Amino acid sequence: MNDTTELWTYRYERNLPRMEGHIAVGSFGMTVPVRIVGFFPEAPDTYSVKFCQEYAFLVYNMACMLADTYRGRGVTPLLRKHLTPECVERLEFMWQLVGCYDILNLKDEKNAMIRQVPPMPKWIHFALVSSELMECTINVDIGTAVFHSMLVFRRKASRWICHLADIG
């Protein structure tokens, strides 16, 4: 994760508070742009650089793990930790379907690339809908294939728990 705060800027645009920044990913110094927009009056209090970095990196990791689930690699324990049981059940069902029906046929060059090339998010957008609801969209490239992930988090006590995880 980034240790510098100068990558993050805070501003109002059309009366909506917005935080923008980048998180460093991988070991090559690549960064992923992150935009967080709040839709409730208390949103500016949520915009600490620490919050933005932690949750942007968490969402980045979850999007990569979702892509791995789609690629037939199962639901990881780290992913389970941040999902509701219903969400885990749906992802395991998707994982079984991918495995049973061999959706990613390795004879097709594009599908073979999807199985072999690591996922790389291109951008992350957060919408803080309320103090209890956060929606995230992530653009993930795997080789030449482009996927979009959606994660919906609800605050439970002091943690954000994912209630919906989708990739397509």
Q: What pLDDT band is residue 130 in, cutting at 50, 70 and 90?
A: confident
Q: Residue 8 has what pLDDT?
A: 65
Q: Is 90 helix (H, G, I), strand (E, B) or coil?
A: helix
Mean local confidence (pLDDT), 72-94: 87
Mean local confidence (pLDDT), 127-138: 89
The structure tokens listed for 112 are: 């073979």
Q: What pLDDT band is residue 10 in, cutting at 50, 70 and 90?
A: low
Q: Is 137 helix (H, G, I), strand (E, B) or coil?
A: strand
Q: Tell me whether strands 120-130 and 30-38 are parallel, antiparallel or unpaired.
A: parallel
